[in-house]
């Protein structure tokens, strides 16, 4: 907790206080939004903290160890600065969060910062979003190292560990028909069924331009995505489709001829061999 100013400390120690809770969300692209529990907008450090979007935070707890300090904020999606589509598009993934108290009667007293961290899991249901705010100790929870696995552990086909040149497996296509925001077809069925399954679609034009998502199935020229796109897909939108990889040794050998860079242990005995009776 960052210490409060002497004047704010005096106010906190008084019998009657006039405090408002504020929280600031700063996206990875630098866009900042502010919200407050007070009944009117407040301007703090040049940022307007809006009262139009009411929110309810859980209790803030701080532990002495390395356990992750977490809290949740529930808010109504009735402000244009945070929309359900933007949340689903990932614009707020890993956004920086700052929660603090101010004296709304005298903002010159500064602020008392209660928590800083990053935005974690966000769920949206019926116009209300619940955001998990993770403390700074979250960084210590990441797994360091890798586990043995029969399948390849590369994070993405063509990355610096896979080293496959994606150019021969990347196709620029145009949407010819739309079923919904998860399913659409392109003008010509260039590849066999399953070619793009577990691959990626990267949107070049349209409302979803710049976004990408994994392909669940591909058959007869129809793409079905793992999740619905946050914005409307329209006929004429162009996109890049990258061939999929199921991360098996056989696919790496026969399709991509990339066995030397296979990041798995396909010949390691599994649990069935360990439990096998003599």
pLDDT, the chain, mean: 82
- C-alpha count within 13 angstroms, C-beta hemisphere, residue 254: 5
What confidence category does residue 83 fall into, taking pLDDT thresholds of 50, 70 and 90? confident
Termini Cα distance of the chain: 61
**Lowest model confidence (mean pLDDT) among 143-147, 197-201, 236-240, 259-263:** 143-147
**Lowest model confidence (mean pLDDT) among 8-22, 41-55, 64-78, 206-220:** 64-78
At 177 the pLDDT is 94
| Mean pLDDT computed over 224-246 | 93
**Lowest model confidence (mean pLDDT) among 18-22, 62-66, 189-193, 228-232:** 62-66
Class of domain 6-139: mainly beta
At 137 the pLDDT is 58
119: pLDDT strictly greater than 60: yes
Tokens of 44: 């703090």
Smallest CA-to-CA distance from 172 within 238, 222, 229 is with 238
What confidence category does residue 259 fall into, taking pLDDT thresholds of 50, 70 and 90? very high
65: pLDDT strictly greater than 50: no
17: pLDDT strictly greater than 70: yes
**From its phi and psi, is residue 137 left (phi > 0), alpha (psi between -120 and 50) or beta?**
alpha
For residue 32, the cross-strand partners are 26
For residue 222, the cross-strand partners are 185, 219
Backbone angles phi, psi at 140, to 5 degrees: -80, -5
Q: How far apart are CA 8 and CA 109, in angstroms?
A: 5
The share of the chain scoring above pLDDT 90, in percent, equals: 40
66: pLDDT strictly greater than 50: no
The domain made up of 167-261 is a member of CATH 1.10.1660:
no
At 242 the pLDDT is 94
Strands of the sheet with 70-76, listed across from one edge: 42-44, 47-50, 32-36, 19-26, 96-103, 111-125, 128-134, 70-76, 55-57
Tokens of 33: 């939004």
At 214 the pLDDT is 94
Domain definitions of the chain by residue range: 6-139, 167-261
At 128 the pLDDT is 63
pLDDT digits (tens, 9 = 90+) for 129-172: 666 676 655 555 566 677 888 899 998 899 999 999 999 999 99
CB 42 within 8 A of CB 48: yes
79: pLDDT strictly greater than 70: no
pLDDT digits (tens, 9 = 90+) for 177-217: 999 999 999 977 667 888 999 999 999 999 999 889 999 99
Q: How far apart are CA 203 and CA 213, in angstroms?
A: 9
């Amino acid at each position: 907790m960052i210490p409060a100013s002497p004047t704010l400390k005096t106010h906190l120690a008084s019998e009657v206080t006039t405090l408002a809770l504020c929280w600031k969300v700063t996206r990875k692209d630098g866009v900042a939004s502010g919200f407050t529990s007070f009944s009117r907008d407040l301007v703090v450090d040049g940022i307007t903290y809006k009262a139009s979007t009411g929110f309810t935070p859980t209790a803030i707890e701080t532990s002495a160890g390395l356990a992750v300090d977490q809290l949740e904020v529930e808010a109504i999606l009735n402000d244009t600065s945070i929309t359900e589509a933007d949340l689903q598009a990932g614009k707020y993934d890993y956004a920086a969060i700052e929660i603090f108290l101010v004296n709304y009667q005298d903002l010159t007293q500064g602020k008392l910062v209660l928590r800083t961290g990053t935005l974690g899991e966000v769920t949206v249901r019926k116009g209300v979003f619940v955001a998990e705010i993770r403390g700074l100790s979250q960084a210590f929870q990441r797994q360091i190292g890798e586990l043995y696995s029969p399948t390849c552990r590369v994070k993405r086909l063509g990355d610096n560990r896979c080293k496959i040149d994606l150019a021969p497996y990347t196709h620029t296509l145009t949407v010819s028909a739309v079923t919904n925001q998860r399913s659409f077809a392109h003008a010509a069925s260039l590849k066999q069924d399953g070619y793009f399954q577990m691959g990626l679609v990267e949107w070049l034009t349209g409302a979803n331009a710049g976004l990408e998502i994994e392909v669940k199935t591909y058959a007869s020229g129809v793409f079905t995505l793992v999740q619905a796109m946050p914005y409307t897909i329209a006929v004429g939108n162009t996109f890049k489709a990258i061939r999929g990889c199921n991360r098996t040794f056989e696919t790496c050998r026969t399709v991509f001829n990339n066995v030397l860079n296979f990041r798995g242990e396909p010949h390691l005995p599994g649990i069935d061999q360990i439990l096998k009776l003599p």
